[in-house]
Amino acid sequence: MPDSLEHKRDLLRQFRKRSEEGGGPDRVAKQHAEGKYTARERIDRLVDPGSFLEFDKFVVHNCRYFGMDKKQFMGDGVVTGIAAINGQKVAVYSQDFTVLGGSLGGAHAQKIVKVMEFAAKTRIPMIGINDSGGARIQEGVVSLGAYAEIFRRNVDCSGIIPQISLIMGPCAGGAVYSPAMTDFIFMVDRTSYMFVTGPDVIKAVTHEEITKEELGGAGPHSAKSGVAHFKCTDEDECFERVRELLTYIPAACDAPPTRLATTDPVDRENVRLREIVPANPKKPYDIKEIILDVLDDAHFLEVQKDYAKNIVCGFGSIGGIKVGVVANQPMVLAGVLDTDSSAKAARFVRFCDAFGIPIFTLVDVPGFMPGVGQEHGGIIRQGAKLLYAYCEARVPMVTLITRKAYGGAYDVMASKHIGGDVNLAYPTAEIAVMGVEGAVSIIFRGELSGLNGDAFAAKKQELVDGYEQEFSNPYKAAELGYLDEVIMPEETRSRVYRYFEALTNKHQSRPHRFHGNIPL
């Protein structure tokens, strides 16, 4: 009988099956042939087994133009719902390229908006898997308005819940701006790309010829533009990195902090660090060696590791306390701050502050990068972003000067003056307005002006030695209270842990205002 209970149950089974088929076996096979999983397979591989609860499985579009009434698919090209990752509840949407090329129309966007609002209400991270041909042209301005609805939710969620974007296929035109407003972007090498205007448009307008991969692939966006935070070799690695990231960040801005389990003793001596900083101040060393030796189990999740390599940002833990790490990298451009590194670090500091993640800053910086290109590229504005981010931060901040801290860059790198809670230094630290050679040449210009040859060299060396003895050490700053302690390198882990432990209940209120005006 048509109205029997079993008939109704069969109907539900049929609807479920139709929804789960996506665009059909031929299109699914094509997706697989391109080295890509389907929308549902991606969710299954990302989340904890059996944890996914789907929303809006039977939604279809209502467009009747251009024969679209004959092209209706249940789910309308996007799978949405809630799940768990490492036991942490998350919201997720996954665009289905097998259905109308994953194109976004009104119904498609409404599903995404609904799950985003659910995530914001329930204070859980929002993960978007992007694989779409862009706006559904047949729906005209409806699709444009639909994108704007998503953009507004991105802004509403910003700083409240973490937003993570996985680019696993095309993401072009206006579609790129939703991921761009999220906290982290993951891209897959050779199968994902992002750009506002594609190669064909660029060729028509500027006559430049370039491939999709060269223009907007994971390579250029992780190394040149800085758009991508993580570049992955394949989709499975991407899912692993997302799961790893979620172990370090909270579910929401107001979620109570949690600690990571570790068997790494908090009082472990950093024996390897005794000789890490070279006696020669001009000799480079790898700051990551210090980071890895201090963090629990030598585990560090670096963010944007291929972009602006003169500064290092990422997540780790010390004695189970989750921290964000910002460090100048002497191995690249001597660790100098330039336009790209300033903006990279500022964005990372603001994320940590928004979500209550303590910040551990390691300083070895000779100053800001000089040059016409840097000045005209906005080093003043970009450097001010990092200064603003640190000044605004209210999370616990521990700063360690390992060697150079020169000029305005000393101030900017979480100094005591702009809000560092605990400021430490190694005995090798040099805190000064500028390097010794430059300072001596300016201060003692008169004494040196009449000398030549050996006399000049001997006098300058005498002045350099005197300046180094007086200023190229951490003790003047410690005498003034700008440093809280000078520590031995082997003490780093235990000291930093104890300071972060003491700062656990730090509370610092902000003045009432709508919002500050960061120099964008």
Written as one string, the DSSP assignment of 20-41 is HTTT-HHHHHHHHHTT---HHH
Helical residues (DSSP H) of 393-479, grouped into ranges = 407-412, 436-443, 445-449, 453-471, 475-479
Q: What is the pLDDT of residues 85-121, one digit of tens each?
A: 999 999 999 999 998 888 888 889 999 999 999 999 9
Confidence (pTM): 0.94
Let me know whether 337 and 213 are in one domain: no
Of 232, 362, 188, give the one whose Cα is nearest residue 291: 362
Does 515 fall in a domain? Answer: no
Set 77, 134, 173, 335: catalytic member = 173
Confidence of residue 485 (pLDDT cuts 50, 70, 90): very high
Confidence of residue 11 (pLDDT cuts 50, 70, 90): confident
Residue 467 or residue 475, greater confidence: 475
- pLDDT reported for residue 422: 98
Residues 269-293, mean pLDDT to the nearest whole number: 94
Does 256 fall in a domain? Answer: no
Amino acid occupying residue 214? E
Residue 517 or residue 510, greater confidence: 517
Let me know whether 453 and 489 are in one domain: no
- pLDDT reported for residue 167: 98
Give percent above pLDDT 90 in the chain: 74
Confidence of residue 182 (pLDDT cuts 50, 70, 90): very high
Average pLDDT, the chain: 92
Let me know whether 303 and 336 are in one domain: yes
Set 409, 414, 425, 439: catalytic member = 409
- pLDDT reported for residue 511: 82
**Chain centroid to CA 391:** 19
Residue 405 or residue 3, greater confidence: 405
Set 377, 408, 419, 438: catalytic member = 408
Let me know whether 342 and 480 are in one domain: yes
Residues 462-476, mean pLDDT to the nearest whole number: 80
Let me know whether 215 and 83 are in one domain: yes
Residue 36 or residue 459, greater confidence: 36
Q: Is 174 a catalytic residue?
A: yes
Give the strand pairing for 170-172 and 311-318. unpaired
Does 261 fall in a domain? Answer: no
Let me know whether 52 and 193 are in one domain: yes
Q: Is 67 a catalytic residue?
A: no
Let me know whether 68 and 191 are in one domain: yes
- pLDDT reported for residue 66: 64
Q: What is the pLDDT of residues 360-396, one digit of tens each?
A: 999 999 999 999 999 999 999 999 999 999 999 999 9
Is the alpha carbon torsion for 141, 143, 145, 147 positive or negative?
Answer: negative
Last residue of a domain, one of 216, 248, 280: 248
Let me know whether 352 and 450 are in one domain: no
Let me know whether 88 and 104 are in one domain: yes
Does 127 fall in a domain? Answer: yes
CATH number at residue 346: 3.90.226.10
Does 263 fall in a domain? Answer: no
Q: What is the pLDDT of residues 310-327, one digit of tens each?
A: 999 999 999 999 999 999
Amino acid occupying residue 415? S
Does 71 fall in a domain? Answer: yes
Domains held by the chain: number:
3
Residues 461-474, mean pLDDT to the nearest whole number: 78
Q: Is 102 a catalytic residue?
A: no
Please compute, for residue 154, the number of CA atoms within 13 A of its CA located in the half-sphere on the CB side. 21
Give the strand pairing for 88-95 and 78-85. antiparallel
Does 31 fall in a domain? Answer: yes
What single-letter DSSP state applies at residue 9? Answer: H
Residues 140-157, mean pLDDT to the nearest whole number: 92
- pLDDT reported for residue 379: 94
The domain in which residue 487 lies consists of: 271-433+472-502
Set 84, 140, 159, 174: catalytic member = 174
Does 422 fall in a domain? Answer: yes
Let me know whether 427 and 319 are in one domain: yes
Position 442 pLDDT exceeds 90? no
Let me know whether 207 and 291 are in one domain: no
Let me know whether 104 and 168 are in one domain: yes
